[in-house]
A and B are shown apart, each in its own frame.
Chain A
C-alpha cells in the first residue's frame, strides 16, 4: 500500500474510490481521423475494450469521464476540443490516441495542432499511426493504474488545514 497523506479512513476510501472509478470509465470518443478506424476495431468484438470496463461509449461530455481524443486535431478543431473538454464532468481523464493527437504526427504544417497537450492536459499518450488495438488497450491499462494510485477528490473530503 503506498503511503497516502491523511489517516486510515481516507486512504482506505481513496483506494475504494480509485478501484470503482478505474473499472467504470465512460469514454467520449472524440474521433476525427484515421485512428478512428483502429478505434472501431478496438471497441468491437475482436479486441473488445469492454473487457476492461471502458466499453460504455457516451456521446455527450456530460455523461463521460474519459475523453478519448482519436486522430488529428487541426487548428480549426482546437476550440471545439477545448469546449468539449471543459464541458466534461469531474473527475475527468484524457487519452491522446495516435501520433497526431500526441504530437501532430506526420503533419508538421500550418493546419495541425502539434499535440493536444498544447490545448488540454493529457493523462496517457498512445503512440502509433495508428496504434494497434493491443497498444490502445495497454494505454487504457496504464490509465487505470494511474487512476488507482491517484489522490481522489470527493465532496466531503476533509481538506488538510
Chain B
C-alpha cells in the first residue's frame, strides 16, 4: 500500500495510478492534496519491471540483442549500439568505417523518433492534440526509413557485435532526404504551434524548475540536464563511433523548467537532422558488385559438389545487403565472433562449421573474462552498460544505467507544493520510458 499516512486530517488522498493516460501506464503517484495543492507525494515504480537483468544471466550475448530493443523502446537502435559497443570494448573489436557511419545515421534517426514521441505525448497531455498527430506523421516517415533498412519499424535488432546486420538499401539517400524534409516541415509547424502558445507557456514556463547543482546531485543526464544549463553530452564529452568527425552543437536551456526541456529537445532534433545529413554526404561507398547471373542456393550446392562454382549465388531477398562482397564493409571480427556470409555457409565446409558453431551452446560469441562500463548518449541521457563477463557465452552480470531512472527520482521534489495540473507537463517533459526505468 502507499506509504502515505495522512499528514493533516482534512487533506485528500488521490492516486494517479498506473492505469492513467498521462502516467504512461507504469507509474503510480499517490498524492496528498489540500484542495488542488500537493502536500506530499509518493512515486511508486516497478510496474514494468520485466526482469531484464535476470534474463541477461540466462541468455547468450547474441540472443540478448532483442532484449536491448525493448529497453528504451522509443529509440531502440541507440540501445543496440550501446550494448554492441560494450562487448566490442571488452573484446577490443574495431568496427569498419562504413558500419560506424551507418550506426551513427541510424542512432540519430532513432533519437529523432524518441524526441518526437516524447514531445507528442507531452503536448497531448497538455491538450495540444494536433502536435501529437503532426509528430506521429513525422515519426512514420522516419520509421519507414528504419524499416527499409532494418526490416522492423521499432524492434530492429539491427546492430551486431562487430558492425551491422546488413548494408543500407540501394536508394536509401532518397528515402532519408524525404524523411528529413518532412521532419523539418513538422518541426516548423510545432514551433509555430507551441513556442508562443499562451496556454502551453502558462502550463510549462517556470514550473518544476531544476537548478544545475540539484540536477547533478540527482545524476541527471541528457536533455533534462542540458535544460538546466549544463552542457554535458556523451557524444561530445567522450566521443564514440565517428561523432568526433561530425559537426553539431549541444543546445542548452537556461532556466531548467518544463519549457526548457521541451525547447532543448526541439533544438536537439534539428542537430540530429544535421548529423543525418552529414552522414549521408560522408558515408564511405560500399563495394557491392551485383553479379548478373547468380545461381540459386540449391544449384550452387550441386555445383559445389561437382566442381568449383564459377558463378555467384543468388541470396533470398531478406538477406539483401549482407552479401559476401559487402560483408567486409559492414561487419568485422574473426569467424568466432560473427556469422560467416551466407555464400560461404552454402558452399564451403569451413563456413558451414563456423556458422553452426556460432549458434551452438557454449561456443559462439565469448568475450574474454573481465568487466567493462561503456555508455552512449541515449534519448534520455547517458545510457551506460556495466558488463561482468566470466568468459562463457552468457554475461555473468549486466547492469544498465537507465538515464530516465535518475530523472524520475527527482519527480517527488519537483511537484511538491505545486498544483495537480503541473504534475502532467512535468512528468511528460521527463520522458519516462517504463522499459528503461524498471528494466
Contacts and interface: CB of A to CB of B under 8 A. Distances in A.
B154 interface: yes
Contact of A32 (B47, B51, B137): B47
Nearest to B113: A37
Interface residues of B, number: 36
> What range describes how many residues of A lie at the interface?
20 to 34
Interface stretch (B20-28, B358-366, B382-390): B20-28
B47 A76 contact: yes
Given A30-B25, A36-B24, A132-B153, A76 B70 contact: no
Contacts of A112: 50-51
A38 interface: yes
A59 B18 CA distance: 12
A111 B48 CA distance: 9
Nearest to B44: A76
B154 A30 contact: no
Interface in B38-67: 46-51, 54-55, 66-67
Nearest to A77: B47
A73 to B, nearest CB: 9
A71 interface: yes
B136 A111 contact: no
A110 B17 CA distance: 23
A37 B116 CA distance: 12
A44 B26 contact: no
B154 A71 contact: no
B117 A106 contact: no
A80 interface: yes
A34 interface: yes
A72 interface: yes
A129 B19 CA distance: 21
Given A31-B25, A33-B70, A44-B137, A38 B51 contact: no
Contacts, number: 96
Nearest to A104: B50
A129 B136 CA distance: 20
Given A76-B46, A109-B50, A44 B132 contact: yes
Given A45-B136, A46-B137, A107 B25 contact: no
Contacts of A31: 24-25
Interface string A73-106: 0101100110010000000000000000000001
A41 interface: yes
B136 A34 contact: no
Contacts of A129: 155
Given A33-B435, A36-B24, A80-B17, A109 B154 contact: no
Contact of A38 (B48, B67, B154): B154
Interface in B58-85: 66-67, 69-70, 73-74
Interface in B127-157: 132-133, 136-137, 139-140, 143, 153-155
B285 to A, nearest CB: 33
B153 A32 contact: no
Given A76-B49, A109-B50, A130 B155 contact: yes
Given A30-B19, A32-B26, A37 B73 contact: yes
A87 to B, nearest CB: 10
Given A41-B136, A45-B137, A32 B48 contact: yes
9 contacts: A33-B70, A38-B154, A59-B20, A59-B21, A71-B48, A74-B50, A77-B18, A107-B51, A111-B50
Given A33-B25, A33-B26, A36-B25, 10 more contacts: A29-B21, A31-B25, A33-B434, A37-B73, A41-B143, A46-B137, A74-B47, A110-B54, A111-B49, A111-B51
